[in-house]
Structure 1
Amino acid sequence: MSRHSAIEDKALDWLIRRDEPGWSEDDQAELDEWLQESMANRAAWLRAEHGWAQADRVRSLGDWDHGQTHGYRRSWWPPAIAASLLLALGIGGYSLAPEFIHQPEAQQARFDTPIGGHKIISLADGSRIELNTQSVVRTAIGETSRDVWLDSGEAYFEVRHRAGEPFVVHAGSRTITVLGTKFSVRRDGDRVTVNVVEGRVRVDDSQQRDTSAAIITAGDTAITRGGSTLIAAKSEERVESALAWRDGMLTFNLNPLSEVAAEFNRYNRTQLEVDPSAASIPIGGTFQASNVDAFARLLHDAYGLRIEQDGERVRISE
């Protein structure tokens, strides 16, 4: 058995165990540890979950379902039927038809940008990723699966449509699933922000399996933190402002100076420090992200603020 097939079988074994009675917190911790071991493990787990979801839709398998209409318990599935479903769905590296022949392992890669960096990545499936400052992504693109992990920072995605093959972005505890669209994802600690430019995006919490997914469309923004999700609907202007970084700009709409300074600090080694006396001053307009010195001079000219520079630190106060 190849290493890839062994991983697929292990993922399936975990999935069956999880739905058995008696699944404990220790079992979940063991599963989480296995998922963290490698990107291949996580990709196999997602494929297995997708396969079982498809199997759950099968309804005409005889009277062994005991009248159950959905949410089958795997623990009492007859082995022969379970095996047949696995074969039909192509799980575990076996198949009954040529179109389900086991595909080579997905191509894996890692990309990052430094402070103020910007990078465009072309993927094997024809999709593109545009990385913002201080960002890290890992990709696993194969013939039957497409997964990207945003480990930190921000990225803009232009996803090429492939029928029946979702493109999945993993950002912390959130998964963003699309078929073909344009959107951005940003990670700030446990906060994840998704802006949709075109198409439709599904945002799930991978740690809360029973919660409903959030579906957002063009012009929508989803902001998640912990178990909560806030959706700002139909605000194309907000989305456009959030993506101004693609042109090297930052756009603000009367944001507090403390927030504006924090955003500038993402793009520059020269860091702005705002005294509490000036933190709440509202700032509006569009500014060049990399020109922090010009922004500081503008604060002095427009608001009469005091600007003190010490090396790579600029202190702003009234």
Structure 2
Amino acid sequence: MMNNDNPEQDNIDQEAAKWVARLNSGSVTGEDRQHFNAWVAQSPAHRQAFFAMRNHWQNLGQAAQQSSTPIPQRTKSGKPWMMVAASVLLVVSLSLAYPRLQDAVLADVMTVTGEHKTLSLEDGSTLQLNTETAVAIDFNPQQRTIRLLHGEAEVIVAHDPSRPLVIVSGHHESRALGTDFSVARIGETCTVTVFESIVQVSDHNNVIGLLKPGEQLQVSDNSQQVIKTAVNLKEANAWRDGKLAFTARPLHSVIAEINRYRPGHLFLLNNKAANRPVSGVFDIAKLDESLVVIADILELRPVQMNGYVLALY
């Protein structure tokens, strides 16, 4: 399954999708089968990923084929299996979206893909929601609680010592001891970034870390992985100005970030390019244009599969 927090597994999943596509392309060669057998024999993870992708394709592929969206003619580059591979990955990704339906029921406020929303809260605080974000707000006389169900939110906190403001994300709480910080919940990871003053991050009343301005903490849901780093604040909150900013960010990470803001789905079908560095400031409203620039710089080819799937290879 696609997992933005595990690039190695993402690479395996993409390879598995490509093998499913090749083996069902009708043009598989004996050499292809030899390479496939060697790849499967390399690791149990390869076998598991292949069977999972094949099952998803068999179970969900029929629905995808019945879509009213016409399939475009293949490009001059040939390799129609790449289109099938992207379709496999898209179907799998769509199947992972259903848990968010529960968030839609629980949320007080949500944003959709590419949307940015600013709220003035009853206590005078300002809450900014990034793309694909859902929050539930619960203010009472003792505490101000914002539950981040998914996505990313930044809050500029109105000072009130008698009522602390806490953002709850999964099993973790970020308590404002100052004024301006953000919390992101993407996949199984909670990321806290501090822009002003101090924020305390805890897990079931156990303090994980105190963050100062310019510091970021990434913690897994089970708190087994905790990473504290310095962060470029201009890059961290560029989304507030409708931008995405990267400095030597690996391409696979850039693609994961772009997928949060762009309708449809972007796939990288060239594993050798996954760790190539990307730097620049890109307009969220013009991401397809930005992708053409990135592809040109990295000598990759963008292929529009249909209205929803774009692949780089």
Write the distance in 2 (CA, Å) between the matches of 1:259 and 1:221. 17
Match of residue 269 from structure 1: 263
| Structure 1 contact 178–201 (Cα < 8 Å) conserved | yes
Write the distance in 2 (CA, Å) between the matches of 1:236 and 1:308. 33
Write the distance in 2 (CA, Å) between the matches of 1:130 and 1:120. 4
Shift of 1:161: 0.5
Match of residue 74 from structure 1: none
Which structure has the bigger radius of gyration? 1
Match of residue 168 from structure 1: 166
User: 182, 185, 192: which one pairs with 2:183?
Assistant: 185
| Structure 2 contact 135–149 (Cα < 8 Å) conserved | yes
Larger RCO of the pair (alpha carbons < 8 Å, separation 6+) = 2
Shift of 1:229: 2.3
Larger helix percent: 2
| 1:27-106 matched pairs, under 5 angstroms | none
Q: Which runs of 4 or more aligned residues in structure 1 lie more than 6 Å from their structure 2 counterparts after TM superposition?
A: none
Match of residue 133 from structure 1: 131
Classify 1:109/1:267 alpha carbon distance in 2 versus 1 (closer, same or farther; 3 Å).
closer
Write the distance in 2 (CA, Å) between the matches of 1:115 and 1:155. 14
User: 145, 150, 153: which one pairs with 1:152?
Assistant: 150
Fraction of identical pairs, as percent: 33
Match of residue 316 from structure 1: 312
User: 213, 224, 243: which one pairs with 1:249?
Assistant: 243
Write the distance in 1 (CA, Å) between the matches of 2:207 and 2:124. 30
User: 228, 233, 249: which one pairs with 1:231?
Assistant: 228
- 1:259-309 deviation per Cα after TM superposition (whole angstroms, max 9, x unaligned): 111111100114221111322221111111232221222134323321111
Match of residue 28 from structure 1: none
Write the distance in 2 (CA, Å) between the matches of 1:212 and 1:168. 14
Write the distance in 2 (CA, Å) between the matches of 1:263 and 1:205. 26
Shift of 1:143: 3.4
Shift of 1:314: 1.3
User: Are positions 1:292 and 2:287 aligned together?
Assistant: yes
| Structure 1 contact 250–289 (Cα < 8 Å) conserved | yes
User: 301, 304, 313: which one pairs with 1:306?
Assistant: 301
- 1:191-226 deviation per Cα after TM superposition (whole angstroms, max 9, x unaligned): 1110101011100012xx4x4441111111111112
Write the distance in 2 (CA, Å) between the matches of 1:241 and 1:171. 22
Which amino acid is the alignment partner of residue 297 of structure 2? A
- 1:128-162 deviation per Cα after TM superposition (whole angstroms, max 9, x unaligned): 11000000001112333211100000001000011
| Structure 1 contact 161–179 (Cα < 8 Å) conserved | no
Write the distance in 2 (CA, Å) between the matches of 1:286 and 1:221. 20
Write the distance in 2 (CA, Å) between the matches of 1:109 and 1:281. 38
Classify 1:109/1:314 alpha carbon distance in 2 versus 1 (closer, same or farther; 3 Å).
closer
Write the distance in 2 (CA, Å) between the matches of 1:220 and 1:111. 27
| Structure 1 contact 166–178 (Cα < 8 Å) conserved | yes
Considering only aligned residues, what root-mean-square deviation do their CA atoms show, in Å? 1.8
- 1:209-247 deviation per Cα after TM superposition (whole angstroms, max 9, x unaligned): 4x4441111111111112232221xx352x321111111
- 1:154-177 deviation per Cα after TM superposition (whole angstroms, max 9, x unaligned): 001000011232111100000011
Q: Which segments of 5 or more consecutive residues in structure 1 lack a partner in the other structure? A: 1-107
**TM-score by structure 1 length?**
0.61
Write the distance in 2 (CA, Å) between the matches of 1:141 and 1:291. 37
Write the distance in 2 (CA, Å) between the matches of 1:127 and 1:243. 18
Write the distance in 2 (CA, Å) between the matches of 1:236 and 1:292. 23
Which amino acid is the alignment partner of residue 154 of structure 2? Y
**Count, aligned residues:** 204
**TM-score by structure 2 length?**
0.62
| Structure 1 contact 249–287 (Cα < 8 Å) conserved | yes
Which amino acid is the alignment partner of residue 123 of structure 2? D
Q: Which segments of 5 or more consecutive residues in structure 2 lack a partner in the other structure? A: 1-105
